[in-house]
Amino acid sequence: MAFLMEVAQLRERGVAVSTLQADNSEIIGDGTARDALNAIWSRKSYARMAEAIDRFQPDLLHVHNFFPILSPSIHASAKAKGIPVVQTLHNYRLICPNAQLMRNREPCDLCVGRRVKWPAVRYGCYRKSRRASAAVAAMTGVHHVLGTFQKDINQFIALTHSAANIFVAGGLPIDRIAVVPHAVNDPGARVDYKDRRGGLFVGRLSEEKGLDVVLRAWHEIEVPLTIMGDGPERPRLEAIAPPNVRFLGHQSQDAVSDAMRSAALLVFPSLWREPFGLTVVEAFSHGLTVLSAQGAVDDLVVPGVTGERAPPGDFAAWRDMATKLFSEPDRLNALGQGARAEYEARYTPDRVVARRLALYEQLLSA
């Protein structure tokens, strides 16, 4: 979704954008030798990128994701054509095969700084498969040894300063990492907090999102909780949820926006160090207070300003903090105002796209 929003925001400001996308149905399955070789270097994708450049004649290439279908061959293809390359770092794939810096529901940095990510293979970190993990480790290992990411990428974009620091520790050049967040379209005037009720979760229902701790806490919280999203964990989560929690599944962006206008608190219990929290910034744009897990989106959620934090996995702390916030509507209102002010200062399309365009111009002039 962030990719599509970014394309639309650029086009709305007069930037000509052509996209090259891959079909996820081809993603690595069992880590076969052919899949591994394709993830390391795809001749087909190299040719597709060269043809796209010849057809569109771009000033630069901005890559959002290349794994596993397109492979780093697309960066080399652009370099061969004399086109500068920007790479947004949406996750930690370049330094961690499972892209999350997490193992067994805990933070893990065993592969950070290693050219060959052998710990990921040992523990089967990618898709819980050693074969598939070996394929991903081979992709990152080969290109770290060859220096592909240093030679063929002119500019990296990290979404937060915390994420940028992690990538530097993982070996990416500090002088080529700029911090530019995602922008969220302005939903307009927000509903006054006196009209807001209940809690809200928006996101994928997967293990790393940590929603089970919230559901455990909600057994002792009387206000309703609405969950928007779908994923592999949904059946298990529904089975442990109390009666005042409702699961709505995947919803349209308009439905999510309506829910953020009416909720009193967004819960963001993610267990991993997310490179960014698009849902959090969407909440800010609606003037919605956020209760997040410590270490997940600390660059975004400032305690006492835009929301509060609770330790990841600590259901008692989540219960106590959520209960306290719901009992203090004036405090929720003040935090919501702070969230909206933070959005206006940092995350509007005009501000963010201007920073991105300035980065493009700097790159092209160099």
pLDDT band per the 50, 70, 90 thresholds, residue 116:
confident
Residue with tokens 């959005």: 343
Say if residue 32's pLDDT is above 60: no
DSSP letter for 192, please: P
Cross-strand bridge partners of residue 265 = 199
H/E segment holding residue 354: helix 349-365
pLDDT tens digits, 121-154 = 999 998 888 888 888 888 888 888 888 888 999 9
pLDDT tens digits, 50-79 = 999 999 999 999 999 998 889 999 999 999
pLDDT tens digits, 152-207 = 999 999 999 999 999 999 999 999 999 999 999 999 877 677 789 999 999 999 99
pLDDT band per the 50, 70, 90 thresholds, residue 23:
confident
- Taking the C-alpha atoms of residue 24 and residue 70, their distance in angstroms, rounded to an integer, is 10
Residue 146, helix vs strand vs coil: helix
**Strand-strand pairing, 155-158 and 85-88:** parallel
Say if residue 30's pLDDT is above 80: no
